Structure formats: structure tokens, C-alpha cells
């Protein structure tokens, strides 16, 4: 009888161990799912849903860090802001879907023409901002002019119609010293 009891206890211990392992696997899966959900939420909080670039909140957050770094190391920091001219007319004439396509194309064009350390964001409806560390006034104005020409040359075809837009640019820069 005692041999049977020991075998039963061994069998029970093995089953308990298997149940424990299964629970651990389940917990690991739950943790991974929560990590993925957290990452997705963080992306939603920092990324513009339409264009896939940073949103206003994110660029302000990153911009304040860039400002602190520029101040600490006494390096220039530049911001270029652009606004698509008469954008409401695009939406009114061709519809919002066409306007969305134009915004996506411009975001793509801008992101392809800046450096990895520059931060591009959609600031408002048809406004974009680029935070550019370590570039002074001359370099920033030259970049803004190149970007302006690229945007002006852009042509979006929508349902057989050619849509062209222009944009107005503003540049703010300075060497930042101690406050």
C-alpha cells in the first residue's frame, strides 16, 4: 500500500508541476501581450495617425530635450515650420481623401530630405515642424528653400486630377548660450 501511496504522490507532484509550467507560460504570454499593447499605446500617443510621423505633443517633448542639450553644449538649434497654402481649397475642391493623400506625400517628402537626428512632426492640420539641432541660420534657410522647392514641385494625382500645392516656410534659429 505504501508503494501505491508514493506513486500517487509522485503522480500528483508531476501533475502539479505541469500545471505550474502551463500557468507560467500563460503568464509569460500575458506579459508579452501587455508589452505589445503598451508599445502600441505609446506609438498612438506620439505618432500622427495619418502621416506616420511624430505628432505635435511628441515634437514638443523632443524639442524641449533638444533645447536643453543645445543650451548645455552651446550648440545651435533651429526650427522650420511650414504651412500648406490654401489647403482648405484642396479639401473643398477634391475632397478630404485627396487632402489626406497630399499631407501623406508631403510628410514623406520632408522625412526623406532631413537627417536622422532631425525631428519632423505634423503640428496641426496642414502645418509641419522640423526641429534641427546643430545647424545655424544659413544652413536652415538653405534647407527650408530646398524643401519649399520640393513641395512646390510635388504633384498629386487624384482620380485623374492633378493637385499641386505650395507652402509657406518660417525659420527660427539661434546659438543657445547659458540662460
Residues 89 and 69: their CA atoms lie apart, in Å, by 40
Tell me, yes or no, if 145 is annotated catalytic: no
Among candidate residues 18, 42, 61, 126, the one labeled active-site is: 126
Are 70 and 76 spatial neighbours (Cβ–Cβ below 8 Å)?
yes
Residues 125 and 12: their CA atoms lie apart, in Å, by 64
- Non-local CB neighbours of 140 within 8 Å, separated by 6+ positions: 78, 80, 132, 171, 173
Angle formed at CA 80 by CA 74 and CA 86, multiple of 5 degrees = 165
Q: How far is CA 142 from CA 56, 80, 135, in A?
A: 24, 11, 11
Q: Looking at the annotation, which residues are catalytic?
A: 126
Amino acid at each position: 500500500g505504501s508503494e501505491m501511496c508514493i506513486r500517487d504522490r509522485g503522480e500528483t507532484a508531476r501533475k502539479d508541476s505541469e500545471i505550474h509550467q502551463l500557468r507560467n507560460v500563460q503568464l509569460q504570454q500575458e506579459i508579452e501581450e501587455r508589452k505589445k499593447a503598451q508599445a502600441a499605446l505609446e506609438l498612438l500617443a506620439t505618432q500622427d495617425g495619418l502621416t506616420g510621423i511624430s505628432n505635435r505633443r511628441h515634437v514638443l517633448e523632443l524639442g524641449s530635450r533638444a533645447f536643453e542639450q543645445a543650451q548645455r553644449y552651446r550648440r545651435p538649434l533651429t526650427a522650420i515650420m511650414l504651412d500648406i497654402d490654401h489647403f482648405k481649397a484642396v479639401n473643398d475642391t477634391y475632397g478630404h481623401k485627396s487632402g489626406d493623400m497630399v499631407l501623406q506625400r508631403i510628410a514623406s517628402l520632408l522625412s526623406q530630405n532631413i537627417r536622422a537626428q532631425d525631428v519632423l512632426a505634423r503640428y496641426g492640420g496642414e502645418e509641419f515642424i522640423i526641429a534641427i539641432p546643430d545647424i545655424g541660420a544659413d544652413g536652415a534657410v538653405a534647407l527650408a528653400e530646398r524643401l519649399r522647392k520640393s513641395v512646390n514641385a510635388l504633384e498629386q494625382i487624384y482620380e485623374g486630377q492633378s493637385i499641386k500645392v505650395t507652402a509657406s516656410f518660417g525659420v527660427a534659429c539661434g546659438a543657445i548660450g547659458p540662460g
